[in-house]
Each structure stands twice: as structure tokens, then as C-alpha cells.
């Protein structure tokens, strides 16, 4: 634990680590206070694409945490940056919420449901049959399929909900095309997080609740890793994977104790 506490940079997942739905998890306030008191560089890095950093900042403020907007980075921003670098000025048909749309607009990507360069899929509560029909036909016409993240489910208050990969699956199945997934565990997003923090991978730790995204992302990017049991993965499901986190904690509050 002392090795973890000595790290300069802390990259933390949000859903299942910081909150469930609109409920702050135990020990989070103490953990954030510890980060600030110890003058750590920290980033809340989430695969969720629905909200902007400002909205995430406001969400945590309503829960009693005052954290600057610069401490948030989303898969929507990572996807927009990826497309901006790959094809400046491109267009996309988008399945997602306003956080994804805003990130794409800010990167100079136009919305196009006729002949787009890309079909981009993120989380949305309005997902429906028409989205699948439009997306599959555009992909069959040549649009490249991009997904904001690989999460198939995510924790919510009272249970779990389908996430991005669940929305992409029908499009992949009906077109025979595989999406390129930008968010964790893609090292692209992790390297950007390290750049934002200004620390080397050996000086940072990845804290998350999912073995298949958070922990493997940390391992493959060379970060120390800590799994918290406040979200998706459990001590039993950890055994199903051929890799392990260095530490398993009940929650982030363990770090501040």
C-alpha cells in the first residue's frame, strides 16, 4: 500500500469507483481530500461518453466534492481526438448522448446521416431499432465503425445496465464489421491520461473496478494497478482472468486510511 501511496499520479475510473448512479461511494470524500492534501496529480478517467467534463464536475459537486474540470477525461473526448487526428474535418453518424456530440463538434467533426466517414457509437438512453438500421446500412456503404469503449455493462443504482459494446454488437453482427474501440483498455486513452497528468507510467497507478478494462489498461500501459470491489469485478471473478491487479481494495477509502 505504501508503494501505491507514494505514486505521483492517480488515474481513477468513476462508475463503480467514485459513485453508483447518483450515490457517492463510501470513502471517496476522504480519498479526494487525501489526493488534494498530498498534492497528487489525479485524473478521473471514464469510459462513459454521455457527459462532458463540466457535467461530471457538477455531478460530483452536488455530491459534496469540489474538483476542477481539468481533472476529468472521457471516452467521448478520446474518440473525438482520435478522429480529429485520423481524418481532420471528417463527418460521422452518431449514436450517443450530448457528451459525445459536444466532444465531436468541438473537434470539428460534422454530423452526417447520409454519407458519413464514420459511424460512432456511445451510450445513450434513446437507443432503438432505427439506430441499428441506419448504422448498419451506412457501414455497409463504407462508413467505418468506431465505438467509444468496450464496456458491455455498467453499474447503476440497484443493479447494472447495458453499455456501449451492447449497443455496438447488433451493428457488428449485421454488417460483419468489427468496431474500433477507443476507450479503456485501448492504450491511446491511457497515454493521453498520463500526458494530462505530466507523469511517467512508472510514477502512476490505475484504480478501477473492472478487470477487463481498468486493470488490463493499467497493466498494458505500465502503471501500478489497484482493483476496488465497489463496482463490477469481485474476488471470485478476478480468478477468471490470466492477469491480476497488484492490489485488491474494498474501495478507494482504503488508500486514505
Known catalytic residues?
13, 15
The CA distance from 139 to 111, in Å, is 15
Name every residue whose Cβ is closer than 8 Å to that of residue 224 and which is 6 or more positions away in sequence.
3, 4, 7, 204, 205, 206, 218, 246
Name every residue whose Cβ is closer than 8 Å to that of residue 232 and which is 6 or more positions away in sequence.
16, 153, 154, 155, 160, 209, 210
SS (H, E, C) 120-141: EECCCCCCCHHHHHHHHHHHHC
What phi and psi values does residue 46 have, to the nearest 5 degrees?
-120, 140
Amino acid at each position: 500500500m505504501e508503494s501505491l501511496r507514494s505514486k505521483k499520479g492517480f488515474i481513477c475510473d468513476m462508475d463503480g469507483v467514485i459513485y453508483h448512479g447518483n450515490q457517492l461511494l463510501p470513502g471517496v470524500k476522504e480519498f479526494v481530500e487525501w489526493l488534494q492534501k498530498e498534492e497528487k496529480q489525479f485524473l478521473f478517467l471514464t469510459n462513459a461518453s454521455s457527459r462532458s467534463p463540466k457535467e461530471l464536475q457538477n455531478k460530483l459537486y452536488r455530491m459534496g466534492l469540489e474538483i476542477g474540470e481539468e481533472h476529468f477525461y472521457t471516452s467521448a473526448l478520446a474518440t473525438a481526438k482520435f478522429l480529429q487526428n485520423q481524418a481532420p474535418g471528417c463527418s460521422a453518424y452518431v449514436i450517443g448522448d450530448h457528451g459525445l456530440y459536444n466532444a465531436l463538434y468541438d473537434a470539428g467533426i460534422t454530423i452526417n446521416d447520409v454519407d458519413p466517414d464514420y459511424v460512432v457509437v456511445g451510450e445513450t438512453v434513446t437507443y432503438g431499432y432505427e439506430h441499428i438500421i441506419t448504422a448498419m446500412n451506412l457501414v455497409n456503404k463504407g462508413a467505418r465503425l468506431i465505438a467509444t469503449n468496450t464496456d458491455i455493462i455498467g453499474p447503476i443504482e440497484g443493479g447494472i445496465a447495458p453499455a456501449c459494446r451492447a449497443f455496438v454488437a447488433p451493428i457488428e453482427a449485421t454488417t460483419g464489421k468489427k468496431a474500433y474501440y477507443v476507450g479503456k483498455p485501448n492504450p491511446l486513452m491511457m497515454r493521453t491520461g498520463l500526458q494530462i497528468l505530466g507523469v511517467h507510467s512508472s510514477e502512476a497507478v490505475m484504480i478501477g473496478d473492472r478487470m477487463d478494462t481498468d486493470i488490463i489498461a493499467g497493466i498494458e500501459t505500465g502503471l501500478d494497478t489497484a482493483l476496488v470491489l465497489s463496482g463490477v469485478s469481485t474476488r471470485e471473478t478476478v480468478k477468471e482472468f490470466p492477469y491480476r491487479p497488484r492490489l485488491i481494495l474494498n474501495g478507494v477509502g482504503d488508500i486514505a486510511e
